[in-house]
Amino acid sequence: MKKNLSILFLLFIVLSITACGKSDESFISEQTENRNENNDKTDTPISGKNGHYLVLYSSRTNNTEHVAQTIQSILDCDILEVEPQIPYDDDYNSMLNRAQKELEEIRQGNYPAIKTSVDNFDNYDIIFIGYPIWYGSMATPMQSFLRQHASKLSGKQIALFATSGSSGITSSVNEAQSICTEFYLD
């Protein structure tokens, strides 16, 4: 009962829920780094006791990370950070310029490289996806992650959450739905 109330509470924290389709069950152990044939980084989430849920997040200033860790702590579930291939500058204006350029590139179909990859999501019932909102849009590393993993996320229930200084989540929800359904319609 307490766990169900926690999940209900999280659904109030989580600003929107969308589905890419069906769901499955639990899994995942310790954090490890593996290399696939292309030498790309494949990550295993840091494991919690409740493997039914996964919290994926992208965070530059640690605000989204803090929300992700709160969700992870309440649910005692798995968590994994989605990271860009090239880290962002600490300088805020440089980061804004890069984010603006990356958003322009995404509109043209060119997604920035990320170093985080997940082999499968088969055993998760709900995947919480968190990101900062940049210029009214989902942060570019998370857009890249969703695009690269759209087929693996097909059939999963997705709960989105975002942090922002001024923008709402609506545009980013539409972006997530577009990325998930662009390739894998239910």
Closest among 141, 137, 128, 127 to 171, alpha carbons compared:
137
Which token pair is 47? 């494991």
In angstroms, rounded to a whole number, what is the distance separating the alpha carbons of residues 161 and 172? 10
Question: Of the given ranges (40-44, 125-129, 144-148), which has the lowest mean pLDDT?
Answer: 40-44
Which token pair is 156? 């999963």
In angstroms, rounded to a whole number, what is the distance separating the alpha carbons of residues 13 and 92? 27
pTM of the complete model: 0.73
pLDDT one-digit tens code per residue, 1-29? 444 434 434 444 443 333 343 332 222 22
